[in-house]
Structure 1
Amino acid sequence: MIKENFQISHTFAQMIVDAAKEVIGKDIDFIHLDGKVIASTDQDRIGSFHAAALQVQEKGSVVEVLGNEAFKGARKGISYPVIIDKKILGVIGISGDPKECKSLGFLLTKITEVLIKEQMIVIHSLDELRSSIVRMLIFENEKGDAFMNEHLQQLQHELEDRVFVAIIHLQGLNNNSSLAAKMKEILLEQGIKLFTYLFPNQIALIINESQYKIMLKRFESNNSFKYMNCSIGIGSIGILDELSKSYKHAKLALKYALSKKVTVCIYAKLDLEMIMENIDFHIRNVYATKLIGVLSEEEITLLHTYYDNNLSLKKTAEELFIHKSTLQYRLDKITQKTGENPKNYHDSVKLYIALILQTL
C-alpha cells in the first residue's frame, strides 16, 4: 500500500540527490512542480527557478538542456520526471554533457524511484516499521500523533522529548549485503530500536538523550563497531522538531570523520566547523579554492597530518615515513604554490581554515 497525499520534503529531497551523486558522480537537482529547486548537490542552486522542469511536466518526459540558460535557471544537462503510480511528483536533473548524462539517466531515475517508494510504503513488518518512523521524524517532521505512539509501542520503545541522530557509514556495503544485517544485529543488541538504511551505504539512527553518553562510549570503544570498519557522525541533541537539524549536523560530523579517517566524530566538538558551516557555501568554496586549490591530494594529506601532529615536523615526518628534510622541502613547495607558509603562525591558520572549509 502507498501513502496518500505524499509530499517530498526538502530534507528528504536533499538525501535523494546526495545519495544519487555518490553513485553517479554528477551534480544533481530536485525540482518541485512549481519550478523551484528544493534540493541540490550545489547549495547555491537551492531556491532558484528551473524553467526546464516546467517543460518536463508539460511534456511528461525527459528534456535535454543543450547549454547553460537554454532554459531560464537550468544548466546544461538532462531533466527527468519523477513518476510514481503515473503521477509526476517532481523533476530531477543531472548537470553535465547531455550525451554523457543520458547514459546515467536510467540509473538516476531508478535510484530516485526506489528511495521515494520506500518512503511511501505503508508498514507491514517491524523492520519497515522502525524504518518508517525514522524517515517520518527526520524527513517529514511528523511526531507525537496517535499513529506514531501506536507504532512505537509495537517496537516496545519510548521516544523521549529530546533525541539526536547518528549516521553510520559502512565501507563496502554495496558489495556485501550481509553487512547491513550484521549492523542491524549489533544495533538491536545495543538497545537501539529506531534506525533505517539510507542508500547507498549509510544507516541513520534516532537515539534518546538519556543514552547519549553511554552510546558515545560504545561507538568509540565497542569492538563490534570497530570490526565493522565504519565511521560514525553524531548529531546535536534537540527536541523532536529539530531532528532534521540533528540529521544535518550528523552528516557534517560524518563527513569530518571520513576526512580524518576516525571512527567517531561528534558535532558538538566541531567548534570551528560549526562556525564555518554558517558561512555562505560560495564564499567557503572560493576561499578554500583560492588558498589550497592548487595543491595535490598528496600535499593536502601532508597538511592534514602536519596539523594533526600540532605542527611538529618530527612527528609529521615519522607518521609519513619521510625524512625531516624531505618534509621541510615539501612544506616549502606548498609555500611556493599557495603563497602561505605552513611554518608561519598566521599563514598556517589561513591554510588550516581552508582545509576545514574544504571538508564542509
Structure 2
Amino acid sequence: MLIQELAEKIITEVRKLLDEDIIVVDTKGQIIASTDPIRVNTFHEGALIASQKKEKLIISEADQQILKGVKAGINLPIFFQRDVVGVIGITGNPDAVSPFGEIIRKMTELLISESYVTEQFDWQSRSMEAFLLDWIQLKEWNEAFLERAKLLHIDLNVHRQVMIAEVAKGSSILHRDLWLSILSWQERTDTDVITRWGNNRIIYLLTSDQNYHDKAKRFHQFLLDRLKMEVSMGVGLSVPPKDINQSFHQAERALHAKNSTCDLIFDEDLALEMILDDISQQTKDDFIKRTIAPLLEDEELIVTLKKLIENHFSLKRTSESLHVHINTLHYRLKKITEMTHLNPRNIDDLFILYLSLQFLDKHLKI
C-alpha cells in the first residue's frame, strides 16, 4: 500500500523529468498526491479501472465526460512484488506523454522497492537492538525470548564477548548504506551479531575467538576507515550466553576508561579503572569539589596537569609538549599548589590530582 509520504516523494522525483501534472492514486481510486493540491483526496475513476485491469489506461478528452475525476492523459498501474499497489497518472496529450510512461513507471516502482528495503532494514535494526536490550536485562529466558532469537537467527548456545564502538555524541552512523557496509565486514562469522545501539554506538557480539585481540583491532581500524571519524571501542571478556550482561558492562567500563593515547581498550587490561567505575557519581563530584574545583575556571592549568601525567611527570617533556618555557611550567605548578593546596611534585598529592582528573566531567556544574 502506498502511503502519502512516499507518494509525495514519487511526485517530487517524477516532476524532475516531466513538466506535466502528475497524480499518484491508491488502489481504491483515491488521489493521495498530486502536483495540483486541489485534486488530492478526490476520486479518480480511470485510476481505479487501471488498477483493477492491471494495465495502462489511456484517457481521451472524450473520456473526461464519461469517467469521474479524470483528465486526458495516461494511467499506469504500479507493481510491487507482482501486485498492483497504486496508479500513477500523467496529464496531457496521450500521444505526447505516453513515450515517458514506462520510464516513469519503472522509476516509481524503484522508489517503492527502495522504500520497502529501507523499512525492512529499519525493522531488522530495531528488532535486533530491542532483543539485545532484553538479552542484557533478562535473568531468565522465556519461550517468547527464544522464539525472537530464532527469528533473528541468533545462536544462544555459543560463548561471546561484547565490543562497544562509539563515535562522538552528535554524530550519526545510521545511514543505511553505511550500516550495510559495516554489517558485511568480511571477518564477521555467521554467529557474530552486529547491531546499532542508539545513534552513536555499534555493538558487536563476537563469537569467542582465541585471536580476539587482533580481530578487535582490525574491526576498530575498519570502522575508522568506513566512518571517517574518531571511534572509541571497549572490549569485554568472553562469557556464556546467559552472562552476556557481564561482558556488556565490562565493555562499557573499558569504553569509559579510554584516554587521549588509546581509543581501543580491553577490560582485562584495566586495573585502577575497575575500582573507579564502582564509585558513585555523587562521590566523584564531591571529590572534585574538594580538590581541583578551583582550577575548573582555568583550562590552562587543567591541561598542564594532564600533560604532566601523560609525560610521566617529566618536567622537560611536559614543557615541550605544552610548547612553553620550563620556568612557565614551574610557575603553573606553583599556581596549582596555591589554588588546591595539593603539590603535583608530591607523589601522594599527585595521585589525588590524578584521581580528580579521572573523575572530571566537562558537564559538571560546581
Which range, TM-score by smaller chain? 0.5 to 0.7
Report the counterpart of residue 287 of structure 1 in structure 2: 287
In the alignment, what sits opposite 2:248? 247
- Percent of aligned pairs sharing the same letter: 25
Mapping of residues 84-103 of structure 1, within 5 Å: none
TM superposition shift of 1:314: 2.0
Matches within 5 A, 1:298-309: 298-309=300-311
Residue pair 2:164, 2:202 contacting (<8 A) in 1 also? yes
SS of equivalent residue, structure 2 residue 294: coil
Q: CA deviation at 1:281?
A: 3.8
Residue type of the partner of 2:208?
Answer: E
Distance in 2 of aligned mates of 1:160 and 1:302: 50
Distance in structure 2 (CA, Å) of the matches to 1:147 and 1:176:
28
Residue identity matched to 2:135: L
Q: Is the 8 A contact 2:311 2:318 kept in 1?
A: yes
Check whether the contact 1:255–1:359 (CA below 8 A) recurs between aligned residues: no
**CA shift for structure 1 position 128:** 4.3
Amino acid paired to 1:272:
L
- SS of alignment partner, residue 294 of structure 1: helix
> Among residues 343, 346, 354, which one is paired with 1:344 in the alignment?
346
Q: Counterpart of 1:356?
A: 358
Q: What's the counterpart of residue 271 of structure 1? A: 271
The gaps in structure 1 that reach 5 residues or longer are: 1-121
Distance 1:201-1:127 versus aligned 2 partners, 3 A rule? closer
TM-score by length of 1: 0.55
Q: Paired residues, what number?
A: 236
1:203 aligns with 2:202: yes
CA distance in 1 between counterparts of 2:266 and 2:307 reads: 20
Displacement of 1:184: 4.6
1:219 shift after superposition: 4.0
Residue aligning to 1:136: 134
C-alpha displacement of 1:289: 2.5
The one-letter amino acid paired with 2:346 is N
Which runs of structure 2 are paired with 1:63-142 in the superposition (5 Å)? 126-141=124-139
> What root-mean-square deviation, in Å, do the aligned CA atoms of Structure 1 and Structure 2 show?
3.5
346-355 or 242-251: which moved more? 242-251
Change (3 A) 1:196 1:221: closer
Match of 1:335 in 2: 337
Aligned mates of 2:285, 2:131 — CA distance in 1: 36
Letter paired with 2:238:
I
Instruction: Report whether the alignment pairs 1:162 with 2:148.
Output: no
Where do 5+ consecutive residues of structure 2 fail to align? Answer: 1-119
Q: Partner of 2:325 in structure 1?
A: 323
State whether residues 134 and 195 of structure 1, in contact with CA within 8 Å, keep that contact through their aligned partners in structure 2.
no
- Tell me how far 1:123 sits from its aligned partner: 10
SS in structure 2 opposite 1:311? coil
What SS does structure 2 have at the residue aligned with 1:260? coil
Larger radius of gyration: 2
Partners of 2:305 and 2:183 lie apart in 1 by 36
Report the Cα offset of residue 132 of structure 1: 3.7
* Cα distance change of structure 1 residues 256 and 187 upon mapping to structure 2, 3 Å threshold: farther
C-alpha spacing 1:256/1:154, structure 2 compared with 1 (3 Å): closer
**Closer/same/farther in 2, CA of residues 359 and 252 from structure 1, 3 Å limit:** farther
Shift of the 305–217 alpha-carbon distance from structure 1 to 2, 3 Å rule, reads same
Q: Distance in 2 between matches of 1:188 and 1:139?
A: 28
What secondary structure does 1:287 align onto?
A: helix
Seen in structure 2, the aligned counterparts of structure 1 residues 182 and 344 have a Cα distance that, compared at 3 Å, is same
* Contact 2:292/2:340 (<8 A) preserved: yes
| Pair 254,239 (structure 1): closer, same or farther in 2 beyond 3 Å | same
Per-residue deviation, residues 263-305 of structure 1 (Å, max 9, x unmatched)? 2122222200102222344333322321112213332232222
- 3-state SS, counterpart of residue 265 of structure 2: strand
Stretch moving more, 327-336 or 227-236: 227-236
Q: Contact 2:233–2:264 (CA<8 Å) still a contact in 1? A: yes
Q: 1:233–1:307: structure 2 CA closer, same or farther, 3 Å change rule?
A: same
The residue type paired with residue 313 of structure 2 is L
8 A contact 2:315–2:326 mirrored in 1 = yes
Greater relative CO (CA pairs within 8 A, separation 6+):
1
Equivalent residues of 1:166, 1:233 under 8 A apart? yes
Matching of residue 171 in structure 1 with residue 172 in structure 2:
no
Structure 2 Cα separation of the partners of residues 176 and 279 of structure 1? 32
Following TM superposition, by how much is the alpha carbon of 1:261 offset from its aligned partner in structure 2, in angstroms? 6.2
What is the DSSP-based 3-state SS (H/G/I as helix, E as strand, rest coil) of the residue aligned with 1:310? Answer: coil
Residues 219/356 of structure 1: CA separation in 2 closer, same or farther (3 Å cut): farther
Name the CA shift for 1:274/1:321 in 2 (closer, same or farther; >3 Å): same
- Report the AA paired with residue 230 of structure 1: V
